[in-house]
Amino acid sequence: MATKCKKCGKIHFPPVADCGECLSSDMEWIELSSEATIEAFTHVVVRPLTFQDEKPYTVAIGRLKEGVRVLAWLVGFKPFEIKVGMPAKLTVIEKDGNPIYVFTKPE
């Protein structure tokens, strides 16, 4: 879910209460399509302390059909499969009891 400004139409993800574009507080909820195009990615081998228990992972920026950019882990791809411009699906998984966003292969 994201918020859309009723005044200027700007879509915010993560959702916000006030529009950063026109400062209006007149927002509505919209459901995002989850269809994304990968714009940038990086393989993280030297992990920060809080991720020492993780295997090396890939972080990507994807642009959703609605135009918003999302930063999330990319899961389920082999490293050589990952390319800028490829389609991916934004989905929610549970990790250590918390919901997190990840990009996965589209069906």
Find the length of the chain.
Answer: 107
Q: Is the Cβ of residue 27 or residue 60 nearer to Zn ion in the bound state?
A: 27
Dist CA 9 CA 19 (whole Å)? 9
Which C-beta is closer to Zn ion: that of 8 or that of 40?
Answer: 8
**Whole-number Å distance between alpha carbons of 107 and 105:** 6
The structure tokens listed for 59 are 């972080």
Among 14, 15, 24, 79, binds Zn ion (CB under 5 A): 24
Q: Which of residues 38-97 bind Zn ion (CB under 5 A)?
A: none
CA dihedral 92, 100, 36, 79 (to 10 degrees): -110
The answer to whether residue 26 forms part of the interface with Zn ion (CB under 5 A) is no
Q: Does 2 help bind Zn ion (rule: CB under 5 A)?
A: no
CB of 88 to Zn ion, least distance (A): 28
Report the interface residues with Zn ion, using CB under 5 A.
5, 7-8, 10, 19, 21-22, 24
